[in-house]
Structure 1
């Protein structure tokens, strides 16, 4: 029997049982903290921060884990190594490798993590999620990829951790190893969170007062995974543009979209299609302008943003040329491709295989093209649907892997079944109750850009509506989970959008002050050529930002959150 058939959905043990199953080496620092030991005792307090950092590598006592530590003195580094801005205070950077091993493919594996421990710890712990195929350690001096408006959490005093998800390198070739697949699905995040909390207890003499998770894309999926498999690990979770059905839905859509666009793309001299030229930038601007003409003013003002999402009923047929393709219209083939892509993939029986995409002006932004069409001027495409999603499909999402697979030959009747085995342990859309997470008081924020070309905002809206139906309705569900849509935003950031906001502070206020986010303040960065310096309120779904009828259109104070 192939070892890939051993992949099974894992039902996590109850929270209390999981704690009992923790290795003694991991629980010891917590016991020491409870008894006043560790770095909380008098002798430990006499150590300099640099000395306390150095001794972690030997004092931590984590089983099957190697650690290296580096102390970064105060005022010597800025977040992300930036050349300007405020310096960070002193902090200890711990780099760890859990369960190093040799895989069945002969490659070396370990669950790598980076944990930054500030001298001025504020009692908070933040896990920042990854994305793509992972394989790298995210810089823990930076913020989450869905909360770029948050000043460096490390600089604020958070202890911050990231993980490479159990493998190194950003390709999906690790899919040849069954354990690496499980690590990428859930195991690496569990092990990293437990190790980080143990190291925090060792360093400071107590466990965190509050624990938070924030991530986007794959990181959003990781946040949802924690809320389902390990519901007692975090007090609040931000799941941005969550890849909740990436291995059974969004990747199918990426193949569908690529096939539709490739079929209408012009050919080179040898007859091969040039994917990026299926639509020119001018063509996409035509579509964006038509969407605005149809839907923009439904929120009370024509300002370039489609806030009233549910009122938008756009049909690209209005752009179809009466004759030959011209600068002010689209060919019938282009209109047909757009209709097919925005409706979503289906099998031959007409069954929907993933959500379609909402019509939003952000489809003319560079971030949308990067995923769907790319910019290659040759028949070798560079769209992320090809460079990233096909890599994940053939190496990881298919069970067993199929490295010779041609994405343009994807069979929408039979190939989705080849993705179900991994979907059962990887995808997070099925649990639409979150019973344990809700019961222990957890808070959940979903954030999604309306012009995300890979994970549809419609899928997140559908999940949230199912969650509400299972938890007493929308009002009751908003006591522990809220969804915020960002008009114009591409995947996690970018586009004609107010995509700069502090969702981490929103979590902190909700958990520690009991202040639920009725709005999240958002702005466009000065470098945003679409709408520099604009501010807007992000509203909890199903509300949207509506113009009051008076006031500066560029200012958030001129808008109010309403539901219609």
Structure 2
């Protein structure tokens, strides 16, 4: 399709005096960049990506100040202080005949641009950022972009079905892959127009849905980014989304619904049993795969739940065992991976009581909507009452219909490698929403597809974070983007990622996250709260 050009209509006002940009992370500071040859918040022309038309473009100068993040925690809310003066450009794209309207938002610092472009991914059912990531990137000197893909916020799926009651394939394509690619093209063009020259390097930065988008970029659009930072990625989409309904299947079939404090008792018992496997009791399980804690050891234990004494039963222990084990079909064959030992059971194993006080399951929103609205095309479909047989049917249907669209599981990354790209992923070992073993499974398949771990390590490295929940929601911090820029720009492949981890007791310890397949072990001397007290070793099994 012939590309269309649109002259940009600017709504700029004089920029306020440039505010001081916060000090970038170490690797970001290392790029020596000549100042842009020009800076204007009114770019003149914009080429539309192939297959699209530009509906509108606006640009506005924003003075330095505090950015109020829309929404409420944990998916929004809060403030980002000291955001420097910047230009905000909004480009609305459509795919002729699809009746979609996908916005691309680009923020460009007036002063202190580090010469880099950063694309920011989404979360849950949001394809893009609510502004928090853009603000953080601009503070570090990046020109940053995101896209809403023409869909809604993290918990909004009103767009999923068209008026006839079938999945809106155009919007699903946008959410799955198309809009992130088009955002990369548009964002880089806006950067070139505003600064008078192209960005020296381009990066993807995302977690969860944003992590999945990063992998999709590497798989389908290998030339979009020099570096991809994709944490806790929602790859193997149809497998893990449906698989995370498994705790509801287990409880429904057993007619047993442990309370939150009962589940926590199993988690704490496993932690106590497996904490020392890395050589020191530090409130972290460094290698959950070695933890063979049997939940039946808690049977008969009395615990206090909401002021009442509760005795752990055989049925409770069997529910926990099956949740950890993961989904299987009616013949006992494994379908996908279960919850990591050490991860919180909620929200995947959440429950509720009806008006009569009867306890039933309360499936987590994201997989429940995927199964009901997208796979079944029945928003009222009840995912709390699945049996193993109906679960298996749903699992296989999701894969058959949607793997080519959003599966994000292609293990051939040779085009990304050949383009010179670098990919870093870290995933919390205590992720309560996306099974960490699924990310390891993908990495193993890439190793098999591309002739071994050593060759893959040349461009793609995976790091597992002991005790860290989904996207570090428990406070875990990882020095990932700085490591990625050092790798891309200076060839310094990261052997470890520096991290601050939160222990089971709420303390903070320094750790070096080990490059897969290695795991962390205490040296036997030194401060167990310091990274220097540990080393990375090959895992031992059994």
TM-score w.r.t. the length of structure 1 is: 0.78
Separation in 1, partners of 2:227, 2:360 = 37
Aligned pairs for 1:62-81 within 5 A: 62=48, 63-74=53-64, 76-77=65-66, 80=69
Q: Give the one of 490, 496, 506 matched to 2:469.
A: 490
Relative to structure 1, the CA distance from residue 374 to residue 493 in structure 2 (aligned partners, 3 Å threshold; closer, same or farther) is farther
> 2:435 is matched with which residue?
456
Separation in 1, partners of 2:508, 2:170 = 47
Separation in 2, partners of 1:283, 1:412 = 25
Q: Do 2:251 and 2:361's aligned partners in 1 also have CA atoms closer than 8 Å?
A: no
Please list the CA deviations of residues 44-83 of structure 1 after superposition, one character each: whole Å capped at 9, or x if unmatched.
x3xxx5xx21x23x54354423122221123x23585998
Query: Is 2:150 aligned against 1:171?
Result: no
> 2:241 is matched with which residue?
251
Please list the CA deviations of residues 296-350 of structure 1 after superposition, one character each: whole Å capped at 9, or x if unmatched.
1111101111113332222212112289999586211111111111111122122
Separation in 2, partners of 1:464, 1:351 = 22
Q: Do 1:111 and 1:192's aligned partners in 2 also have CA atoms closer than 8 Å?
A: no
Q: Give the one of 426, 430, 436 matched to 2:406.
A: 426
Relative to structure 1, the CA distance from residue 285 to residue 397 in structure 2 (aligned partners, 3 Å threshold; closer, same or farther) is same
Separation in 2, partners of 1:446, 1:294 = 28
Query: Is 2:176 aligned against 1:200?
Result: no
Separation in 1, partners of 2:55, 2:372 = 31
> 1:148 is matched with which residue?
none
Aligned pairs for 1:321-470 within 5 A: 321=300, 330-360=312-342, 362-363=343-344, 368-373=345-350, 385-398=363-376, 401-407=377-383, 408-409=385-386, 411-419=390-398, 420-429=400-409, 431-470=410-449
Relative to structure 1, the CA distance from residue 239 to residue 375 in structure 2 (aligned partners, 3 Å threshold; closer, same or farther) is farther
Separation in 2, partners of 1:433, 1:102 = 33
Shift of 1:85: 7.8
Q: Do 1:374 and 1:383's aligned partners in 2 also have CA atoms closer than 8 Å?
A: yes
Shift of 1:92: 0.7
Q: Give the one of 123, 126, 136 matched to 1:131.
A: 123
Instruction: Specify which structure has the higher proportion of strand.
Output: 2
Q: Do 1:218 and 1:242's aligned partners in 2 also have CA atoms closer than 8 Å?
A: yes
TM-score w.r.t. the length of structure 2 is: 0.81
Separation in 2, partners of 1:100, 1:218 = 23
Structure 2: segments with no counterpart, 5+ residues: 9-34, 71-76, 162-167
Relative to structure 1, the CA distance from residue 280 to residue 238 in structure 2 (aligned partners, 3 Å threshold; closer, same or farther) is same
Separation in 2, partners of 1:202, 1:376 = 57
Please list the CA deviations of residues 376-432 of structure 1 after superposition, one character each: whole Å capped at 9, or x if unmatched.
78779998844232222222244xx22332212361343234312122210112x11
> 1:99 is matched with which residue?
94
Query: What SS does the corresponding residue of 2:187 show, helix, strand or coil?
Result: helix
Relative to structure 1, the CA distance from residue 186 to residue 457 in structure 2 (aligned partners, 3 Å threshold; closer, same or farther) is same
Shift of 1:534: 1.7
Q: Do 2:372 and 2:382's aligned partners in 1 also have CA atoms closer than 8 Å?
A: no
